[in-house]
Amino acid sequence: MKKIVPPEALQFLASIPLFKGLPRKLLVLLYGHIEERHVHNHTVIYYKGEISKELYIIRHGEVMMTLGEAGKTVRYLGEGDVFAENSVLTRTAHTGSATAILDTQLYVLDGEYFLKLAAKERVLSQNLMRLMGMRMREVMEDSSSQIHSPRRLVCHIPIEEVEDFKVHLESIVDNGRKSHEGHVSLLRMDTFKGKSVSEMIRTIAQLRKKSSILHLYFKNPEIQPELDKLVQQCDQIVFWEEKPERNLKQKNEILGYWEPRIRNFSGRTSRIIVSENGLRKHEESANQKVFYKGETFARYLVSRTRGLALGGGGARALAHVGLLKVLEREGIRFDFVSGSSFGAVIGALYARGESTDSIFKMIGKFFGGIEKPFDPTIPLISFFKGKRMLRMLKDAFGTQLIEDLKIPFATSAVDLHSGQEYVMDQGPVWEALAAAMSLPGMFPPVFKGDHLLIDGGVINNVPENLIRRKGADVILSVNVSPLRDEGIVRLLEDRKVTGKSFFKNLWEDITYPPILKIMARAITLEGREITKLRKEKMDLFINLHIEEFAFTDFGKYKEIIKKGELETEAAIGDIRKLFFPAEK
């Protein structure tokens, strides 16, 4: 039976550059070999490494191409775009994948038939050569007109009345704009009422060319079945509530309606609780992301959540307080924090929500003099008992748990039994920090079950990987340990050269024995070589130059904090560039 050719289909084919100049008779012939294929959103059309036997033309919808070795280069194709022609022509494997990100109607043309037709028809072969030449230029020039930042389509659904809902939404959009290079827009779902599904998708595709992040929202907590198909196109569906304990029947009805209608419900949906006293533990038992901070949520939606990794270095880590002072002044806040050794202590205080003024006062209380954190003992296992340091940690954090900190936090130690890194992101804060700070030789190892734990900085002194695993997208990694020596480091001094008195020299050797200097130096050298290897892969690695201060100069906390502040001010341009890419 002869295939009927709709006039609009011929008009569409004639508008495509690949078929430009072809006579109507040939377009009819082409259409006869085309299969119309509907592809659901978030469905892969082909994978990297596959060889295509078909040529694809987008009738309507949107397709995302991922290119390059890591699949990070992204290009978006829309109505009238042709793809897979290189694989069809050269019979080679795709270097990336293609995924429909909106419901997409494809015209699928048999590759073998197309090549035979191109061999006969001069105009078609010339058009094909032009297309291949354009693809070659895109690859050679890495054309910015074809490569885009990732697009997101987000739908916001209130499941109860939320006070100032629109204000909260606008705040989400505004924070997203600050963290994202592309344009971000907010649009009411009512805008699409009365449109067919294909009209909705065409409208969305057009809007996304201007706004890479598009937020759609329902004004009220209600179900509107005529807009279901539009909600199903979204990458992320967000359910809003104010008080988790109220309106349970209404919430269950709305959630129950959407759960069977959204594919991969737990992976594509999240909830945001506006109230600060949300039932966090109850909510986290559900297999769904739950947010309590709108700013973090805004960055999550544009894949720009922020992480801060604070390196260890004994007293030098006090420079992180100066760093935080500058970041606080600049209005730069974080969604994840990690720290190593004493950097973990500063990180945990920040994660608890302490201001820099408050942290400074606590430092002054506990480290007003070098004798305060150190308690010498007979050096069978370590030179210091560690009891004063332990008391300090208990006084500072009490019974607080890591999972109850305001900002997700992680630190690590090394298990001497297994030789592996031991990650700590739950349990008592003081207990985790005690293990994270047990520098071999200085403080005794910490027993935790079958594990014997020492300072994590030995193998991971700037632990950005700990929060990368938790979901941090862009991470500021801060090192305070010297990466190179400006001159010869003298661990053992000749009193005749230094001019120090016998008793002063003796007192210094008792309070900080030369063997400890040698051990700390050896560990620092090993740790810095590991840090050098890792820093090239970090988003932004800054090195605070605190070399003039010793590992145990806690009594000089004011000078170290001030130096950390000055060093951070010198690097603030790079820091803002990382977190505010839209700033010019």
Q: Which domains does the chain have, with CATH numbers?
A: 7-140 (2.60.120.10), 152-302 (3.40.50.300), 306-484+508-579 (3.40.1090.10)
pLDDT in tens, 7-56: 899 999 999 999 999 999 999 999 999 999 999 998 999 999 999 999 99
Angle at alpha carbon of residue 195, lines to 191 and 200, rounded to 5°: 75
Cβ(530)–Cβ(459) below 8 Å:
yes
Residue 579 is predicted with a pLDDT of: 93
Rounded CA separation 152/184 (Å): 9
Pairing of strands 152-158, 213-217: parallel
What values do phi and psi take at 514, rounded to 5? -55, -35
Residue 581 is predicted with a pLDDT of: 85
Residue 6 is predicted with a pLDDT of: 86
The verdict on whether 212 is a catalytic residue reads no
Distance between first and last Cα of the chain: 61
Is 80 exceeded by the pLDDT of residue 498? no
- Which has the higher per-residue pLDDT, 490 or 73? 73
Q: Which residue type sits at 269?
A: T
Q: Give the pair of three-digit tokens for residue 338.
A: 């990690």
Sign of the Cα torsion 439, 441, 447, 450 reads positive
HSE-up (13 A, CA, CB side) for residue 399: 0
What values do phi and psi take at 422, rounded to 5? -115, 110
Rounded CA separation 294/172 (Å): 6
- pLDDT-derived band at 63, boundaries 50, 70, 90: very high
Work out the mean pLDDT of the chain and round it to a whole number. Answer: 84
- pLDDT-derived band at 367, boundaries 50, 70, 90: low
Nearest to 524 by CA among 383, 380, 345, 341: 341
| Active-site residue (options: 412, 455, 477, 481) | 455
Residue 443 is predicted with a pLDDT of: 79
Rounded CA separation 124/118 (Å): 5
Environment class of 138 (CB within 10 Å of its CB; exposed 0-12, middle 13-18, buried 19+): middle
Residue 423 is predicted with a pLDDT of: 95
- Which has the higher per-residue pLDDT, 458 or 346? 346
Q: What is the mean pLDDT of residues 409-424?
A: 93
> DSSP string covering 416-443, please?
TTT--EEEE-SSBHHHHHHHHT--TTTS
Q: What is the mean pLDDT of residues 184-213?
A: 90
Lowest-confidence region among 160-164, 416-420, 437-441, 505-509: 505-509
- pLDDT-derived band at 323, boundaries 50, 70, 90: very high
| Active-site residue (options: 341, 382, 477, 481) | 341
Rounded CA separation 110/204 (Å): 29
The verdict on whether 455 is a catalytic residue reads yes
Beta-carbon count within 10 A of 353 CB: 10
Sign of the Cα torsion 425, 543, 445, 558 reads negative
Rounded CA separation 484/263 (Å): 53
Q: Give the pair of three-digit tokens for residue 328.
A: 């606080």
Beta-carbon count within 10 A of 499 CB: 7
- pLDDT-derived band at 144, boundaries 50, 70, 90: very low
Is 80 exceeded by the pLDDT of residue 135? no
Beta bridge partners of 428: 401
DSSP state of 244: T
DSSP state of 165: H
The dihedral formed by the CA atoms of 468, 470, 474 and 477, expressed in degrees to the nearest 10:
-60
Q: What is the mean pLDDT of residues 373-392?
A: 73
> DSSP string covering 272-287, please?
EE-STT--HHHHHTSS
What values do phi and psi take at 291, rounded to 5? -120, 145
Sign of the Cα torsion 508, 513, 515, 521 reads negative
Q: Which residue type sits at 267?
A: G
- Which has the higher per-residue pLDDT, 3 or 424? 424
Environment class of 135 (CB within 10 Å of its CB; exposed 0-12, middle 13-18, buried 19+): middle
What values do phi and psi take at 432, rounded to 5? -65, -40
Cβ(342)–Cβ(455) below 8 Å:
no
Residue 302 is predicted with a pLDDT of: 84
Distance of CA 146 to the CA centre of its chain: 24
Residue 513 is predicted with a pLDDT of: 60
Q: How far is CA 248 from CA 242, 254, 286, 339, in A?
A: 12, 10, 15, 40
Rounded CA separation 407/301 (Å): 18
Rounded CA separation 275/170 (Å): 17
Residue 290 is predicted with a pLDDT of: 79
Q: How far is CA 502 from CA 364, 497, 499, 514, in A?
A: 31, 12, 9, 15
Nearest to 407 by CA among 292, 504, 506: 292
Q: How far is CA 370 from CA 350, 394, 545, in A?
A: 23, 19, 21
- Which has the higher per-residue pLDDT, 442 or 224? 224
pLDDT-above-70 percentage for the chain:
83
pLDDT in tens, 213-237: 899 999 999 899 999 999 999 999 9
Is 50 exceeded by the pLDDT of residue 502? no
pLDDT in tens, 150-193: 788 999 999 999 989 999 999 888 888 888 877 888 999 999 99
Cβ(155)–Cβ(237) below 8 Å:
yes
Cβ(59)–Cβ(16) below 8 Å:
no
